[in-house]
Structure 1
Amino acid sequence: MPSPADALPILDVDGLSVRLGKMDQNIVDNVSFTLAPGQTLCVVGESGCGKSLTALALMGLLQSPPLSISGGTARLGGEDLLSMQPADFREIRGGRMAMIFQEPMTSLNPGLRIGEQIAESVRRHKGVSRAAARNRALEMLRRVRIPAPEKRLDEYPHQLSGGMRQRAMIAMALANDPELLIADEPTTALDVTIQAQILDLMRVLQSETGAAMIMITHDLGVVAEMADKVAVMYGGHIVEAGSVERIFTDPQHPYTIGLMSSMPSLGRRQDRLVTVPGVVPQPGAMPKGCRFATRCPFRTEACETVPVLRPCGEGHEVACIHAPLENLAARDLRETGT
């Protein structure tokens, strides 16, 4: 049986760009990646780097105006999502592709029972009877391991705990067996124990359904646990991409190295946590060339050229003119004579 990496891509994103109003610069710029069935891509980076905007663009949920797609394609099973008419997109969204949002309390309708909200999605995309849709909703609540699902089916969102609301969101997203699942920070608002349960649940359900998954997160622990592939974003660009093993064992972009170094470790702390100096530039005020240049310890005049993703080992790409950084370190040693 072929591995997910060997399968044909279910999602092929090429040059996706998003613009805010009449700004000259794209706030998401030239984002490209592929995703095979059963594969998980974790998109990681600081707040404001473009992770969620990329997801909303793929789901056709950008607030337009002021946001708009300014370039690129995104093909789900060969169909270009970005050129679809809104009515056609509604047939796909919630059916072939679905999204789990960060805060379920603001995503669920507070005036509808949990079972009604799941059943509504099933009826919309499957065209089944009310009774069949309700049975499917009950089945999904059981699958996501909500206690007493028969009772929870007729309860309102405010009657459920945060963890149960997130499970209900997962049930709704998977009710129509989507080919692609996008999860935007699905465990951020939950305590550590519930986070672990939700991640385990998502991993099991994904293995059962074979869905491809994009998980958006800033938590490198989640990345290590869930990812097959990783895309590191900064300033609307993907600055490094590759297998989870390559990214964690041999990071090559200075920003990725900064993120790795800022992770707290277990045990007795000897030194202060490492931080990435500076702040993310505001949209429309990105530096010329490399958008990380103002915060990079390796910057040179050559960084005024926009870097593109290029191979840096098997299954590993980086957008830095200085990579591989081992060569840069060796050069500095030669120049200083140390």
Structure 2
Amino acid sequence: MPRSLIEVDNLSFGFRGQATDLVEGVSLALNRNETLCIVGESGCGKSVTALSLMGLLPPDATRISSGTITFEGEAIPADDFRRLSTLRGDRMAMIFQEPMTSLNPAYKIGDQITEAVRAHRGGSKAEARDRALQALEQVGIPAAKQRLGEYPHQLSGGMRQRVMIAMALVNDPSVLIADEPTTALDVTVQAQILDLIASLQDRSGMGTIMITHDLGVVAQVATRVAVMYAGRIVEIGTAQEIFDDPQHPYTIGLMSSVPKLTGPRQRLSTVPGLVPTPDRMPEGCRFATRCPFAQSVCATVPPLAPVAGDHRVACHFAPLETRLEAV
């Protein structure tokens, strides 16, 4: 049995009509019972990368330049949308950011979950409904049998998110992709949802890829962290390595922008500028236009090189403590 549940090797793609790849050279691996958090500000390519792993990008509008997705030992070309679709909802599942737009308002909760069961597991409608009931009970929804006959608008935001988790887990997937699963929830429900995902993961050995911009969530749940900027992975390592010793200037900027709850009040640090649009990507390092350390060497693409252990950084000046002193 392979150690990695899923490996992504050199994934690059864009949309037809665009000369520049939106996502470029992304390589990731997810192991069993592990949570990999992908972080970065809006527009960095986190969600579209997740959609590509699920085969949810529109084939007619997507231009795949390169990439292989190895799932449980099976190598799948990134442009094999047909094969990825057979894994979607079965061995790989996804929780979307906003359950009210992800659940069909015209269908009852029970019908939507049983459809996922019968599509991949077959069986009778009664058997699928029993499995749907078990899934709702598994995620802690009270009066689960009654909820099967209700519509999405009849449930609270937290309950709808639990339904999305139940739908994702109903076929016991090996890999769960959670795209900002707690963004629209208050902090109490957010904590409940994160605890729920963690307990289900511990119980089944499932691997989780969590996409978020909330570094507090990352610190709470991450085993490893990948920092993404403008479609590239700029830093990756264990959660401890990233939080204790961030090496990429963008990662340092993200860490510095988190407000502090103690100490004197001070102006919140920000990363100046905006993520470049696909038609205006700079040559070389894509962060160079916003980086305080940028020099002429940054006109070339920095490799994702090891710093220490599993910690890798795409910066010409890493490790910053020694390289910048010599400049």
Q: Is TM > 0.5 for Structure 1 vs Structure 2?
A: yes
Partner in structure 2 of residue 336 of structure 1 = none
Task: Give the partner amino acid of 1:132.
Answer: E
Are residues 1:195 and 2:195 paired? no
- Aligned to 1:312, what secondary structure does the other structure show? strand
Does the C-alpha gap of structure 1 residues 324 and 83 become closer, same or farther in structure 2, counting only changes over 3 Å?
closer
Task: Give the partner amino acid of 2:157.
Answer: G
Partner in structure 2 of residue 335 of structure 1 = none
Separation in structure 2 between the aligned mates of residue 71 and residue 60 of structure 1, nearest angstrom: 14
Partner in structure 2 of residue 288 of structure 1 = 283
**Could you list the runs of 5+ residues in structure 1 that have no partner in the other structure?**
1-5, 333-338
Separation in structure 1 between the aligned mates of residue 279 and residue 238 of structure 2, nearest angstrom: 31
Separation in structure 1 between the aligned mates of residue 96 and residue 52 of structure 2, nearest angstrom: 14
Separation in structure 2 between the aligned mates of residue 91 and residue 27 of structure 1, nearest angstrom: 25
Are residues 1:214 and 2:209 paired? yes
Task: Kindly state the Cα deviation for residue 99 of structure 1 after the two structures are TM-superposed.
Answer: 0.5
Task: Kindly state the Cα deviation for residue 25 of structure 1 after the two structures are TM-superposed.
Answer: 1.6
Please list, as runs of the form range in 1=range in 2, the aligned pairs for 1:31-50 lying within 5 A after superposition.
31-50=26-45
Partner in structure 1 of residue 293 of structure 2 = 298
Please list, as runs of the form range in 1=range in 2, the aligned pairs for 1:4-83 lying within 5 A after superposition.
8-82=3-77
Separation in structure 1 between the aligned mates of residue 25 and residue 301 of structure 2, nearest angstrom: 12
Task: Give the partner amino acid of 1:211.
Answer: M
Task: Give the partner amino acid of 2:323.
Answer: L
Please say if residues 182 and 193 of structure 2, whose CA atoms lie closer than 8 Å, have aligned partners that are also in contact. yes
Partner in structure 1 of residue 122 of structure 2 = 127
Please say if residues 58 and 82 of structure 1, whose CA atoms lie closer than 8 Å, have aligned partners that are also in contact. no
Task: Give the partner amino acid of 2:37.
Answer: C
Aligned CA RMSD, in angstroms, stands at 1.5
Please list, as runs of the form range in 1=range in 2, the aligned pairs for 1:82-101 lying within 5 A after superposition.
82=77, 85-101=80-96
TM-score, normalised by the number of residues in structure 1 = 0.93
Following TM superposition, where does structure 1 have runs of at least 4 consecutive aligned residues deviating by more than 4 angstroms? Answer: 83-87
Please say if residues 255 and 296 of structure 1, whose CA atoms lie closer than 8 Å, have aligned partners that are also in contact. yes
Separation in structure 2 between the aligned mates of residue 277 and residue 190 of structure 1, nearest angstrom: 29
Task: Kindly state the Cα deviation for residue 48 of structure 1 after the two structures are TM-superposed.
Answer: 0.5
Task: Kindly state the Cα deviation for residue 91 of structure 1 after the two structures are TM-superposed.
Answer: 2.2
Separation in structure 1 between the aligned mates of residue 212 and residue 250 of structure 2, nearest angstrom: 16
| Aligned-pair identity (%) | 59
- Aligned to 2:240, what secondary structure does the other structure show? helix
Separation in structure 1 between the aligned mates of residue 2 and residue 214 of structure 2, nearest angstrom: 28
Are residues 1:244 and 2:239 paired? yes
Give CA-to-partner distance per residue, 1:63-87, whole Å, 9 cap, x none. Answer: 2343332211111112234357544
Aligned residues: 327
TM-score, normalised by the number of residues in structure 2 = 0.96
Please say if residues 11 and 78 of structure 2, whose CA atoms lie closer than 8 Å, have aligned partners that are also in contact. no
- Aligned to 2:278, what secondary structure does the other structure show? coil
User: Which moved further from structure 2: 278-287 or 85-94?
Assistant: 85-94
User: Which moved further from structure 2: 192-201 or 268-277?
Assistant: 268-277
Separation in structure 1 between the aligned mates of residue 258 and residue 224 of structure 2, nearest angstrom: 19
Task: Kindly state the Cα deviation for residue 148 of structure 1 after the two structures are TM-superposed.
Answer: 1.1
Task: Kindly state the Cα deviation for residue 316 of structure 1 after the two structures are TM-superposed.
Answer: 0.2
For 1:317, which of 312, 318, 322 is the aligned residue? 312
Are residues 1:163 and 2:173 paired? no
Does the C-alpha gap of structure 1 residues 81 and 166 become closer, same or farther in structure 2, counting only changes over 3 Å?
farther
Please say if residues 27 and 284 of structure 1, whose CA atoms lie closer than 8 Å, have aligned partners that are also in contact. no
Task: Give the partner amino acid of 2:183.
Answer: T
**Could you list the runs of 5+ residues in structure 2 that have no partner in the other structure?**
none
